[in-house]
Chain A
Amino acid sequence: MWIEGFLTALQPLNLLYLILGSTFGMIIGALPGLGPLFGVALMLPLTFGMNPATAIIFLSAVHAATAYGDSFASILINTPGGVGSVASCWDGYPMAQKGQAGKALGISTLGSFVGGIIGWISLITLSPLLVWVALKMGPAEYFMVALMALSLLALASGGQVLKGMLLGAIGLLLSFIGRDPITAEARFTLGWPYLEDGLPLAPVVLGLFALSQVLLLAAESGSISEFRGVGKVWEGFLVALRLPATIIRAGIVGIIMGVLPALGLSSANVVAYFVEKRAARDPEKFGQGDPRGLLAPEIAKNACIVGDLIPTFTLGIPGSSVTAIFLAAMIMHGIRPGVEFFTQSGALPYTVFAGILLAQVAFFILGLLFARHFAKVVLIPNALLAPMIVVLSFIASLALRGNLEDVIVTFVFGFIGYLLTRYRYPGACLVLGMVLGDLVEANFHRALLIGRGSYSIFFTRPISLTLFLLTLLMLCWPYASKLGKKSAPGKS
């Protein structure tokens, strides 16, 4: 079956669509703010005339390449290519500023490729087990997962713990704007219908990280990179290959985030970054162009997007909005997701899986060929680049829903982002609070409803209790290890 699947996926027509999908995906991904959701949704109508396998292979190529291309804008102009590559800015951009844009893109290219392969291996081997675990997770467990991720706030603050916690809390409060997840009652909307759907994450992120960047660039002459060169892409490969522990850690984070519905691309890269920072012996280097801070989110992002397909294919449950489009595409082409997909579709699942693997290879090769040319963006004078970032940020905000209000949100958060940067407040904490807010609130209320108002539901279910204890352990570990060092013989 596997050989048949690969032979079908390697047919000239499929290869052509694979390359086309990867090219479109990379271009769309490279535009600030436009991520896999936009890319896959945009390409869906083009698959109408294709046969099922070609259609899924084409969409897989767009999906993988858009997620990869997202990092270009993050690394080169400190503007998140999409919500899935916010964390790539934090160490990618400082590398670009140091004249290592090529190296950073090399790390991103190899990281995305390795992440995709890790996700693919998990897709074909761990699917049944991961789906079993995911099915055991209820609202109480999801709340505990979100709580565990929130415990990373102190780390995300980069030493400014109080400021970080404050921004995290504001992020949580901002995520409460809109309809109550249980009662659907509109809250904190100030009577503005636009806010009934909540504050949209993409325009907020574009403002916080892209527009604020413009105000900073405008204050400096010259270009982003102080150096005339951009470094070599292959150097990034060597750096990435020397970090196997980072690859493993980020791969695990990506798979877990991918396979659990509702946790997804927006959380995977941020959580992987902070997990890596927590694991590092020298966390103070993060944020200053540390390759680990770029490799971890890149791997997690691509492992997550492939892992995201596991519940879609095996259960017919989309883990995110992107996979919901995949599900729609499958149904549109007469494929029934779930157990029947594997038992009654002949070699089709194997063709699709082979196509997903080839999609990773396709964007990797395209990245090898073109990443160096993209890297030259950092040499454009700030006076020309800054207005381009503004225009691209505004059109990205417009493209998502066609609302001018989204542009206003981007503008307002651009100013807020500038003030945060200027007064050294960690904007990442605000995003972390916003990303996790929905998950925390909705699952907290659902769990309480299931537990008939009793908080014991969080501590009587084995997985939930384990996650709670792990969170406590993570919070106490730095203090415990300090105490351990002090009490160790021979140390004061």
Chain B
Amino acid sequence: MAFWPSVLALQAAYVCFIYFFGFTIATLLYLVAAPLQLRYRRWLIIATQAVLLTLVIAGAFTGFFHVRLPKGIFWSWF
């Protein structure tokens, strides 16, 4: 469905985005971009999955598991 270097490149971009913009925003963007890269076009499902999974994961890991997720250095510049 997709050429593997492009999938790898998107993963690398995801890691960079976590560093710059924090885990939550990076994850939301990645969960929208990755299915599109894999030529999945059902927008409603993509959007629902991206929002729900991001909220559940970020909420559970920070609120319940007390894991410190990266907030991103970008926000510290303001």
Contact = CB atoms under 8 A, between A and B. Distances in A.
Interface of A: 42, 211, 214-215, 218-221, 381-384, 386-388, 390-392, 394-395, 398-399, 402, 404, 407-408, 411, 414-415, 418
B26 to A, nearest CB: 9
Interface of B: 1-2, 4, 7-8, 11-12, 14-15, 18-19, 23, 27, 30-31, 34-35, 38-40, 45-46, 49, 53, 57, 61, 65-70
A218 B23 contact: no
Contact of A386 (B12, B34, B53, B70): B34
A141 to B, nearest CB: 39
Given A390-B11, A390-B14, A398-B70, A384 B49 contact: yes
Nearest to B2: A218
A402 B67 contact: yes
A384 B45 contact: yes
Contacts of B40: 381, 383-384
B34 A390 contact: yes
A283 to B, nearest CB: 31
A384 B35 contact: yes
B4 to A, nearest CB: 5
A453 B19 CA distance: 48
Provide the main secondary structure of the chain A interface.
helix
Contacts of B39: 383
Nearest to A214: B7
Contact of A404 (B7, B19, B49, B61): B19
Contacts of A383: 1, 34-35, 38-40
A415 to B, nearest CB: 6
A391 B27 CA distance: 7
A84 to B, nearest CB: 19
Contacts of A407: 15, 18
B11 A395 contact: no
Contact of A219 (B4, B35, B67): B4
A38 B74 CA distance: 30
Contact of B38 (A218, A394, A395, A414): A218
A221 B1 contact: yes
A411 B38 contact: no
A211 to B, nearest CB: 7
Given A215-B7, A414-B11, A404 B34 contact: no
